Amino acid sequence: MAAAPQAGTPRAVVVKRRPAGEPTPEDFEVRDIPMPVAEPGSVVTRTIWLSIDPYMRGRLREEQTYAVAVQVGEVMTGETVGVVIDSKHPGFAPGDIALGARGWATHLATPGERLVKLTPDAAPLSAYLGILGMPGTTAFAGVTEICKPQAGETFVVSAASGAVGSVAGQLAKRAGATVVGIAGGPDKCLWVQENLGFDACVDHRSLDLRRELEAACPKGIDCYFENVGGAVQAAVFDLLNPFARVAMCGMVSQYNDKTFPPGPNLGFVVGKRVLIQGFIVTDTPQRFTDWRAMAEPLVADGTLVYREDVIEGLENAPEALTGILTGRNFGKLLVRVSHGG
């Protein structure tokens, strides 16, 4: 694999056309761009890390989801960690590390108030796009505000080895629940049990998912952290206990679909008094600071475990996006755009 370039001609990945189904590299184009200039109040960063996340597929749709779509010809959106190379904002100086500039680009200009200054030695910088960033905060919100697992309950999380699922399961474990992951393939399931300490893990590719899940959850399911939808959702919903809570975080299995499949019959929600709640992590900005303050020491001392899957080079970001929508990533997916701090 090619080494990630250092600073050079500024480049960006632009949306060339809207993907039909699974995104492909041909839907994007890498272009040279002018070096961004710091206007009053703004900060120019050189990107070190670019986060690749499932929500990006929604931004490529014509119709607007809960967030604004990226238009054809625009630079693709995505969160980055970068080093400040120019600043006309009093809070940032060249050499500072900044979280929050958005775009698949080697260099970005951003209003300073949208950036968070990171302490370089508190944790690896990439962690602020994963366990200490948006995905970790998402897990924190869904587990503590919706699922609220109790000691002795059974907590199930899908996409269990991923950026969100891996943290959600660890938090439920800390609350005393029995934690069952659902993941794609034996390697991911093994890692979830051996490295994250989940009590069991079911491979969603197995021939009889429903039966295996039932065997792993003999007392039924009290909390479900939903990341994938589809056949996994159907199997889990069958096993929900009365008064179960479901955090509807995402349904990645259908993000490439042109039309959404007909939903399950949710009649059981009434008889079992099940609480199902959708949430978007950015609705409560304070969550991000609360989670970072709580998680930083737990990551530093190894109590919370995370895994990263690093793709080298901005030009490989489109391929990375295709992979996260089909389960090729194993852990928080990141693109290393350049080296250093």
Residues that bind ligand NDP (CB under 6 A): 53-55, 135, 138, 159, 161-165, 183-184, 188, 204, 227-228, 230, 232, 249-250, 252-253, 279-281, 324, 326-327, 329, 333
Comparing CB distances to ligand NDP, the nearer of 147 and 249 is 249
Residue at token pair 């389960």 = 327
Query: Phi/psi of residue 263, each to 5°?
Result: -75, 170
Min dist CB 181 to ligand NDP, Å, is 8
Comparing CB distances to ligand NDP, the nearer of 9 and 65 is 65
The DSSP code for 330 is -
Taking CB atoms, the residue at the shortest distance from ligand NDP is 162
CA dist 198 and 301 (Å) reads 19
Comparing CB distances to ligand NDP, the nearer of 168 and 177 is 168
Comparing CB distances to ligand NDP, the nearer of 98 and 168 is 168
Min dist CB 203 to ligand NDP, Å, is 9
Comparing CB distances to ligand NDP, the nearer of 87 and 161 is 161
Min dist CB 79 to ligand NDP, Å, is 11
Min dist CB 206 to ligand NDP, Å, is 12
Q: Closest Cα to residue 139, out of 292, 311, 244?
A: 292
Please name the residues in contact with 244: beta carbons below 8 A apart, sequence gap of 6 or more: 220, 221, 222, 223, 224, 272, 274, 275
Q: Could you tell me the two tokens for 87?
A: 């600043």
CA dist 176 and 197 (Å) reads 12
CA dist 171 and 139 (Å) reads 8
The DSSP code for 105 is B
The CA-based angle 310-12-41, given to 5 degrees, is 105
Min dist CB 85 to ligand NDP, Å, is 29
Comparing CB distances to ligand NDP, the nearer of 38 and 182 is 182
Comparing CB distances to ligand NDP, the nearer of 125 and 235 is 235
The DSSP code for 262 is P
E strand segments, 9-167: 11-15, 28-32, 42-51, 79-87, 97-102, 107-111, 116-118, 154-158
The DSSP code for 306 is -
Min dist CB 163 to ligand NDP, Å, is 4
Comparing CB distances to ligand NDP, the nearer of 89 and 292 is 292
The DSSP code for 265 is -
How far are the Cα atoms of 11, 63, 66 from residue 16, in angstroms, in the given order?
A: 15, 17, 22
Helix extents (H) in 195-229 = 209-216
CA dist 159 and 302 (Å) reads 22
Min dist CB 131 to ligand NDP, Å, is 10
Min dist CB 12 to ligand NDP, Å, is 23
